[in-house]
Structure 1
């Protein structure tokens, strides 16, 4: 029997994921939120729209969640369990706090449900193309049941380990990328201070061993002015680095570099970079302004 799929959070990433799930022939039920455009588009393509979280649960064997973070996931799950069938799978594609994920997973297992963490790697463009990366934390049995559905929207599926391990790996991944963003921003500001323009900096780095895909999307804004080169908000970046700090605290480990990166994003958010249109590469402007630098 084909699994019935539910999806809550059909925004920048979720729209493409949901569209590709339908393209593989799965029946899809979605739950709308503030932005109606992606919801209306998916309904036009054949998705059903639920009127509530409980209605979404009743229509689904597997529910995907793409939400801002753990508090929202916990709130939605508390209502999903009121309507889910026995043995249903909840798939948290958010970047969540592994401490929360593990506690929530244990609670759900005790009620006859399964929680899978499947945070994403990639961009909205890759989501639309079905070429995301999924970092999955699940038991072998649950992973094997879920994988055919994930294959609909992911080009690369990595079974990282058991429940919670997907979110742990995602935070480590984001530690690297957001750490790079903080480093790039500070390096570019310092360069301007000592007479090295952004263009000259890029001439030296691009194509060298220090070049990488993240560098290129970051410089898509810092050098070329494309404000949408990496559509991931400063607010979400700060949230992820706080989750990293929580994970390090739970493990009893010092995390000084992570804290330094977190403080860079906290500075930007406190200076006004906390809206829906301020993305990771825009950190470069906040760091420059803080240091009295005009980038060229």
Structure 2
């Protein structure tokens, strides 16, 4: 089968998935998508030329490569092995690409089960924001065999400007958890530093005048501070509930490896406290407001 003839399925056209799917159909690939709670992304993709399937099983019958961009391992397993799932409709040789941030232990297990049916599972978790997804500027770290990677790479390149093949199945999800440990650790650090700064008379704007453009600056800092300084709620649309899920997966991997992760545990508890307080659907930069409020200060509306 040549790359040009691959038919693509996409399940999970949410914040990230809609942009990714729009890039795929925009490059001329036949695309079939599925609706979940919100029909607006599906209607937009249909207007761009995509087809719609009612179930994962139906979608699998129309696609040779299927991308999943869902919440995590339980949702991946449900869409693959549930009633009318992908496994019930996929032909041998079909590739399932899990772009979710999932538990690598689950990923490797499901891959083994699917391999017995002639179906390939690989992991291609994402780096970047929904705004970058629309522009085809994400990054992805892929765990797959060489043969599977060769088939999916051209499709991934429609929505990613950096595509890295790390090794076998599971390696992508392992690396993604390490990546998110760093970014979410930064979020917890930024929130605490900004709160302390505000408490002692260093406003967020003053803080940014020193950190911005310095060696401590980075892309994640920029999107985090875009919310803090400009109150742009869409600066980084990744929920605190999803962040907590990711650092819990990291803890699970560390436990399985017998490696202490005291910093990871602290980061997890920062997010767990915010989620327990009902902030789970807020986005990661908004952690700064929650942490500040716990100390009786506000980061909003400070101009210097």
TM-score interval, normalised by the smaller of the two chains: over 0.9
Q: 2:294 aligns with which of 273, 290, 294?
A: 290
Q: 1:9 aligns with which of 1, 7, 12?
A: 12
Measured against aligned partners, the alpha-carbon deviations of 1:36-64 in whole angstroms (never above 9, x if no partner) come to: 11100111111110111110111111110
Aligned residue runs from structure 1 range 198-217, under 5 A: 198-217=204-223
Aligned residue number for residue 81 of structure 1: 87
Measured against aligned partners, the alpha-carbon deviations of 1:248-268 in whole angstroms (never above 9, x if no partner) come to: 111110111111111101111
Structure 2: runs of 5+ lacking an equivalent = none
2-side partners of 1:130 and 1:294: how far apart? 36
Aligned residue runs from structure 1 range 86-165, under 5 A: 86-165=92-171
2-side partners of 1:204 and 1:294: how far apart? 20
Aligned CA RMSD, in angstroms, stands at 1.1
Assess if the C-alpha contact under 8 Å between 1:95 and 1:167 holds in 2: yes
Assess if the C-alpha contact under 8 Å between 2:143 and 2:169 holds in 1: yes
Assess if the C-alpha contact under 8 Å between 2:26 and 2:48 holds in 1: no
Count the aligned residue pairs.
Answer: 294
Aligned residue number for residue 42 of structure 1: 45
Structure 1: runs of 5+ lacking an equivalent = none
Aligned residue number for residue 51 of structure 1: 54
Q: TM-score, normalised by structure 2?
A: 0.94
Aligned residue number for residue 240 of structure 1: 246
Measured against aligned partners, the alpha-carbon deviations of 1:13-40 in whole angstroms (never above 9, x if no partner) come to: 1112111111222111111111111100
2:81 equivalent to 1:64: no
Q: TM-score, normalised by structure 1?
A: 0.97
Assess if the C-alpha contact under 8 Å between 2:198 and 2:204 holds in 1: yes
Aligned residue number for residue 30 of structure 2: 27
Runs of 4+ off more than 4 Å: none
2-side partners of 1:238 and 1:139: how far apart? 30
